[in-house]
């Protein structure tokens, strides 16, 4: 017995029935946030939609960007300590670390709240649940807000992105994706100095001579090179 | 009467006095006095002096006496006597002098009744010869020839001076002038050459651009013309190579560029790509670019002696193949120094079935959503069918549900900025099923809250275009 009556399928054009696929947003070398559309290996980098950005993080539904003196999110702007910030989005909001002042903060429910957390070492990333990647003399560690060591990364780690169920980190010659089960995939990529979340499934790796896009979706992991925005020479 | 007779007697004298002798130097006439110094001449060299016999009167003057008497002097290129110089006219007379022995020379130069004492000094000079890198000096012109060399290269010419004279020679000036020519080293003068000894130095010829070059080597009173020419070398046609693998849409591929033999020069230019789509729906695919520049051109360079070009500073250039079937052609810019145009390298992107990058199936209350991310490089998709399975894996209903969204896709492709890449969502409005037929995981849920995924387990999605059909099998609902 058929339990359902299936009606005629309809493409909902008015509700984005057929649209240009979106990859997410990237931060270009001049501090511009640019939408990226297309598919894996077939990227189109669009014009900048926000300039003067020092660092950022995007999920598939929202972005948080740090400008010189503010944190911009969902059309709102929050006064913030100057300089770049490490940002990690999660389901409820964003964990933020202001590098110049060494302050941790939480952006949630339309408010930016400074946290009383002090972790020794050079903070490389913050993540959900206030996990913190920190470089110390004896290595690179992932610690909790209380300082308890949760994991470690290679000593030559240059940049880290702590996702909810994965860690992306860059060494001198590789970009690595570590799953929560500890399984790692490594991709050759030299000179990555910063990593940013582009969307839920993509991570941007910024190197001096190239901008990489790492697809982190399970089963589709691959590293690509993003086209440089046209007309802008490499520095 | 007596006075008139005197005038008649003086008339011939007045006519004769109308002949005067000058020395012509360049365009200037200088009256030749009773003596004229031809100058200091290197032994073995010669010098011609141009005199001008000018008749400033109205009557013609016949030259009956023309001679030069003295060792080393001779009259050349001049008419034999007698000859007539018309009134108001002139005749040039060339006196040639050459001296082989170092000494003072003199001669009497006679033109009718005009007499000039010519003097010359011959100084000892070394024999000039050349070694590797050049030819000459020419026996008549003294020219030293460097030949035809490549621009930005240096041709070195060794010049050897040997003193074969019985006395020593002191050279106070050795100099090189002229664009492209220079002495390879600083020469400290005076240079003393004893009898039988030699002295050598090097002249460099370093042309900066293609063309003919001339200069002068000066050794005291002697000069030697320097000549050479330069050419811009060219590259053989570069070989363009793709990385291995079958071409297709949605790829990031790489191209490299090499020469069959080491490059003779440093060269640079641009490698450009162009795209010709198979379809008429779109005129181009903007995603087909070099990633290093984000454009359809990437600079190349090569150093002398190397066979591999650098493309955008890298051994190879990555480019995107886009999402449109057609031909991607790569050409080397005409600005490069090529012997012949490099044949374009062509990567043909064949028409293919719909490429599926990702897909999801979502069950909601009252509807099912199927989302597909992909591309259709033929721009002809629209026909599709869906086969639904219940949670137990049984086909629901009579079989596939067909639909044709060709018009929607054509409209989308015509305006889309990203080639044929698309994200589509197809919704299926549904009626609620029998709660008793829900999957075991949904048993006990209030019927009004049961999502359709309690009843529908998966779906086959078949997307068709002119190249065929692509099928997603058993896409599970969540």
Average per-residue pLDDT for chain A: 89
Taking domain B355-476, whether its CATH number is 2.60.40 is answered by yes
Q: How confident is the model at residue A9 (pLDDT cuts 50, 70, 90)?
A: low
Can you spell out the DSSP letters for B293-325? TTBSEEEEEE-TT--BPEETTBSSEEEE-TTS-
In chain B, where the domains are located: 2-123, 127-231, 239-349, 355-476
A212–chain B nearest CA distance, Å? 10
Two structure tokens written together for B40:
């200091």
Q: What angle do CA B101, B105, B109 make, to 5 degrees?
A: 140
Preferred mutation among A8, A22, A29, A39 to probe B, highest tally of B CBs within 10 A: A39
Which is it for strands B383-390 and B456-465: parallel, antiparallel or unpaired? antiparallel
Coil/strand/helix, residue B56: coil
Which residues in chain A touch residue B318, judged by CB atoms under 8 angstroms apart? 225
In this complex, do A225 and B252 lie within 8 Å of one another by their Cβ atoms?
A: yes
Of B250, B291, B321, Cβ closest to residue A227: B291
DSSP A6: B
Preferred mutation among B369, B423, B460 to probe A, highest tally of A CBs within 10 A: B423
Which is it for strands B35-42 and B114-123: parallel, antiparallel or unpaired? parallel
In this complex, do B434 and A1 lie within 8 Å of one another by their Cβ atoms?
A: yes
Query: In sequence order, which residues have a C-beta less than 8 Å from that of residue B320 and are 6 or more positions away?
Result: A41, A42, A43, A227, B251, B252, B287, B288, B289, B291
Question: Which pLDDT does position A208 carry in this prediction?
Answer: 87
Of A3, A21, A45, Cβ closest to residue B294: A45
Question: Which pLDDT does position B124 carry in this prediction?
Answer: 87
Average per-residue pLDDT for chain B: 89
Average pLDDT over residues B325-348: 84
> Which of B151, B212, B232, B219 is CA-nearest to residue B183?
B219
Cα B456 from chain centroid (whole Å): 69
B256–chain A nearest CA distance, Å? 17
- For A22-132+142-225, give the CATH class: mainly beta
Average pLDDT over residues B93-122: 92
By C-alpha distance, the chain A residue nearest B396 is A2
DSSP B189: S
CB B41 within 8 A of CB B99: yes
Query: In sequence order, which residues have a C-beta less than 8 Å from that of residue B375 and are 6 or more positions away?
Result: A39, A42, B249, B250, B323, B354, B355, B357, B419, B420, B421, B422
Query: Could you tell me which residue, A21 or B391, shows the higher pLDDT?
Result: A21
Query: In sequence order, which residues have a C-beta less than 8 Å from that of residue B162 and are 6 or more positions away?
Result: B126, B127, B129, B193, B196, B197, B198
Q: What angle do CA B363, B367, B373 make, to 5 degrees?
A: 65
Residue A195 to residue A26: CA distance in whole angstroms: 10
Percent share of chain B, pLDDT over 70: 94
A70–chain B nearest CA distance, Å? 31
Residue B151 to residue B144: CA distance in whole angstroms: 19
Question: Which pLDDT does position B471 carry in this prediction?
Answer: 95
In this model, does residue B338 exceed pLDDT 90?
no
Question: Which pLDDT does position A40 carry in this prediction?
Answer: 94
Preferred mutation among A209, A227, A232 to probe B, highest tally of B CBs within 10 A: A227
Which residues in chain A touch residue B452, judged by CB atoms under 8 angstroms apart? 4
Two structure tokens written together for A65:
């960007």
In this complex, do B252 and A41 lie within 8 Å of one another by their Cβ atoms?
A: yes
Q: Could you count the other beta carbons within 10 Å of the beta carbon of residue B63?
A: 20
CB B88 within 8 A of CB B58: yes
A58–chain B nearest CA distance, Å? 20
By C-alpha distance, the chain A residue nearest B253 is A41
Cα B54 from chain centroid (whole Å): 56
CB B461 within 8 A of CB A13: no
Which residues in chain B touch residue A45, judged by CB atoms under 8 angstroms apart? 294
In this model, does residue B52 exceed pLDDT 90?
yes
Residue B391 to residue B452: CA distance in whole angstroms: 10
In chain A, where the domains are located: 22-132+142-225
Two structure tokens written together for B15:
């006519």
In this complex, do A227 and B455 lie within 8 Å of one another by their Cβ atoms?
A: no
In this complex, do A39 and B323 lie within 8 Å of one another by their Cβ atoms?
A: yes
Residue B152 Cα distances to B149, B203, B209, angstroms: 9, 16, 7
In this model, does residue B343 exceed pLDDT 90?
no
Residue A26 to residue A56: CA distance in whole angstroms: 8
Residue A224 Cα distances to A7, A197, A209, angstroms: 41, 15, 14
Coil/strand/helix, residue B76: strand
> Which of A129, A133, A170 is CA-nearest to residue A152?
A133
B127, exposed or middle or buried, with CB in 10 Å at 0-12, 13-18, 19+? middle
What's chain B's Rg over C-alpha atoms?
48
Of A4, A38, A45, Cβ closest to residue B430: A4
In this model, does residue A191 exceed pLDDT 50?
yes
Residues 9-48, chain A: which have Cβ within 8 Å of B?
9-13, 15-22, 37-45
Residue B420 to residue B281: CA distance in whole angstroms: 10
CB B255 within 8 A of CB B174: no
Residue B183 to residue B191: CA distance in whole angstroms: 15
> Which of B149, B152, B155 is CA-nearest to residue B133?
B155
Which residues in chain B touch residue A10, judged by CB atoms under 8 angstroms apart? 426-429
Torsion of CA A220, A221, A224, A229, to 10 degrees: 80
Of A37, A42, A45, Cβ closest to residue B322: A42
In this complex, do A21 and B390 lie within 8 Å of one another by their Cβ atoms?
A: no
Average pLDDT over residues B111-127: 92
In this complex, do A17 and B318 lie within 8 Å of one another by their Cβ atoms?
A: no
Q: pLDDT tens across B354-403, in order? A: 999 999 998 877 778 899 999 999 999 999 999 989 888 889 888 888 88
Question: Which pLDDT does position B77 carry in this prediction?
Answer: 84
Of A4, A9, A37, Cβ closest to residue B426: A9
Residue B239 to residue B13: CA distance in whole angstroms: 89
B287–chain A nearest CA distance, Å? 6
In this model, does residue A93 exceed pLDDT 80?
yes
Of A13, A20, A226, Cβ closest to residue B291: A226
Q: Given 3.30.420, 2.40.360, 2.60.40, 2.30.30, which CATH number is that of B239-349?
A: 2.60.40
Query: In sequence order, which residues have a C-beta less than 8 Å from that of residue A31 and are 6 or more positions away?
Result: A51, A52, A53, A54
Which residues in chain B touch residue A32, judged by CB atoms under 8 angstroms apart? none
The H-or-E segment that residue B193 falls in is: strand B191-193
The CATH homologous superfamily of the domain defined by B2-123: Immunoglobulins (2.60.40.10)
Average pLDDT over residues B270-293: 95
CB B343 within 8 A of CB B371: no
Of B289, B313, B417, Cβ closest to residue A20: B417
DSSP B355: E
Question: Which pLDDT does position B433 carry in this prediction?
Answer: 67
Which residues in chain A touch residue B286, judged by CB atoms under 8 angstroms apart? 44
Preferred mutation among B275, B294, B364, B409 to probe A, highest tally of A CBs within 10 A: B294
Query: In sequence order, which residues have a C-beta less than 8 Å from that of residue B432 and are 6 or more positions away?
Result: A4, B366, B447, B450
In this complex, do A2 and B397 lie within 8 Å of one another by their Cβ atoms?
A: yes
Q: How confident is the model at residue B13 (pLDDT cuts 50, 70, 90)?
A: very low
In this model, does residue A6 exceed pLDDT 60?
no
CB B463 within 8 A of CB B470: yes
CB B36 within 8 A of CB B49: yes
Residue B159 to residue B278: CA distance in whole angstroms: 67
Torsion of CA B134, B136, B141, B146, to 10 degrees: -10
By C-alpha distance, the chain A residue nearest B419 is A38
A4 touches chain B (CB under 8 A): yes
Coil/strand/helix, residue B48: strand
Which residues in chain B touch residue A41, judged by CB atoms under 8 angstroms apart? 250-252, 320-321
Percent share of chain B, pLDDT over 90: 65
Can you spell out the DSSP letters for A47-106? --SB-SEEEEEE-SS-EEEEESSEEEETTEEEE--SS-EEEEE-SSEEEEEETTTTEEEE
CATH architecture of the domain with residue range B127-231? Sandwich (2.60)
In this complex, do A227 and B428 lie within 8 Å of one another by their Cβ atoms?
A: no
In this model, does residue A119 exceed pLDDT 60?
yes
Coil/strand/helix, residue B225: strand
Question: Which pLDDT does position B336 carry in this prediction?
Answer: 55
Coil/strand/helix, residue B440: helix
Q: pLDDT tens across B393-437, in order? A: 889 888 888 889 999 999 999 988 779 999 999 988 776 667 777
Q: pLDDT tens across B200-249, in order? A: 999 999 999 889 999 999 998 889 999 999 988 778 889 999 999 999 99
Question: Which pLDDT does position A14 carry in this prediction?
Answer: 34
By C-alpha distance, the chain B residue nearest A210 is B292
Range in A90-94, B172-176, B379-383, B468-472 with the lowest mean pLDDT: A90-94
Residue B97 to residue B165: CA distance in whole angstroms: 20
Query: In sequence order, which residues have a C-beta less than 8 Å from that of residue B456 and are 6 or more positions away?
Result: A4, B363, B368, B388, B389, B390, B391, B396, B477
Phi then psi dihedrals of residue B4, to 5 deg: -65, -40
């Amino acid at each position: 017995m058929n339990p359902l009556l299936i009606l005629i399928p309809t493409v909902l054009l008015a509700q984005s029935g057929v649209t240009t696929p979106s990859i997410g947003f990237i931060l270009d070398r001049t501090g511009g946030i640019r939408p990226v559309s297309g598919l894996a290996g077939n990227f189109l980098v669009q014009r900048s939609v926000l300039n003067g950005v020092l660092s950022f993080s995007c999920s598939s539904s929202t972005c948080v960007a740090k400008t010189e003196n503010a944190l911009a999110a969902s059309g709102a702007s929050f006064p913030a300590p100057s300089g770049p910030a490490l940002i990690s989005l999660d389901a409820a909001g964003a964990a933020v670390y202001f590098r110049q002042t060494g302050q941790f903060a939480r952006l949630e429910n339309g408010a930016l709240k400074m946290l009383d957390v002090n972790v020794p070492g050079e903070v490389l990333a913050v993540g959900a649940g206030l996990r913190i990647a920190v470089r110390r003399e004896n290595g690179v560690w992932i610690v909790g807000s209380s300082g308890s060591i949760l994991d470690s990364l290679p000593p030559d780690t240059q940049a880290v992105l702590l996702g909810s169920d994965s860690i992306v980190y860059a060494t001198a010659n590789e970009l690595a994706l570590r799953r929560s089960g500890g399984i790692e995939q490594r991709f050759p990529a030299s000179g990555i100095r910063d990593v940013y979340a582009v969307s839920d499934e993509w991570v941007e790796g910024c190197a001096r001579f190239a901008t990489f896009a790492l697809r982190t979706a399970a089963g589709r992991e691959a590293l690509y090179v993003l086209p440089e925005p046209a007309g802008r020479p490499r520095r | 009467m007596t006075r008139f007779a005197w005038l008649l007697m003086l008339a011939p004298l007045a006519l004769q006095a109308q002949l005067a002798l000058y020395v012509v130097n360049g365009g200037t006439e200088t009256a030749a006095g009773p003596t004229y110094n031809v100058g200091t001449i290197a032994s073995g060299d010669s010098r011609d002096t141009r005199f001008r016999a000018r008749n400033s009167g109205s009557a013609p003057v016949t030259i009956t006496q023309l001679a030069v008497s003295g060792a080393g002097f001779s009259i050349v290129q001049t008419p034999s006597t007698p000859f007539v110089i018309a009134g108001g006219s002139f005749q040039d007379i060339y006196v040639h002098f050459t001296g082989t022995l170092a000494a003072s020379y003199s001669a009497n130069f006679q033109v009718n009744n005009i007499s000039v004492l010519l003097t010359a000094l011959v100084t000892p000079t070394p024999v000039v010869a050349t070694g590797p890198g050049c030819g000459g000096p020419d026996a008549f012109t003294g020219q030293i020839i460097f030949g035809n060399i490549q621009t930005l290269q240096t041709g070195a010419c060794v010049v050897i001076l040997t003193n074969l004279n019985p006395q020593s020679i002191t050279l106070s000036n050795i100099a090189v002038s002229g664009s492209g020519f220079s002495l390879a080293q600083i020469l400290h003068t005076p240079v003393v050459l004893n009898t039988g000894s030699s002295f050598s130095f090097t002249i460099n010829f370093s042309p900066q651009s293609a063309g003919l070059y001339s200069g002068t080597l000066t050794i005291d009173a002697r000069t030697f013309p320097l000549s050479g020419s330069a050419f811009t070398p060219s590259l053989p046609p570069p070989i363009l190579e793709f990385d291995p693998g079958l071409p297709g849409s949605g790829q990031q591929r790489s191209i490299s560029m090499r020469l069959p033999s080491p490059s003779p020069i440093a060269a640079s230019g641009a490698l450009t790509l162009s795209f010709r789509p198979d379809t008429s729906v779109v005129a181009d695919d903007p995603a087909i670019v070099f990633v290093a520049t984000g454009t359809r051109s990437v600079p190349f360079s090569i150093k002398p002696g190397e066979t591999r070009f650098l493309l955008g500073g890298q051994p190879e250039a990555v480019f995107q193949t886009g999402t449109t079937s057609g031909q991607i052609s790569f050409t080397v810019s005409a600005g490069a120094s090529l012997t012949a145009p490099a044949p374009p390298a062509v990567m043909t992107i064949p028409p293919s079935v719909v490429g599926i990058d990702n897909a999801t199936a979502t069950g909601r209350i009252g509807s099912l959503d199927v989302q597909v991310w992909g591309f259709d490089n033929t721009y002809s998709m629209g026909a599709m069918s869906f086969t639904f399975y219940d949670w137990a894996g049984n086909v629901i209903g009579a079989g596939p549900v067909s639909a044709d969204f060709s018009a929607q896709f054509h409209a989308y492709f015509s305006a889309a900025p990203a080639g044929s890449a698309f994200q589509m969502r197809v919704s299926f409005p549904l009626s609620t099923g029998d709660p008793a037929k829900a999957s075991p995981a949904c048993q006990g849920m209030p019927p009004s809250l049961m999502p359709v995924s309690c009843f529908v387990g998966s779906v086959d999605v078949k997307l068709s275009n002119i190249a065929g059909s692509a099928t997603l099998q058993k896409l599970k609902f969540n």
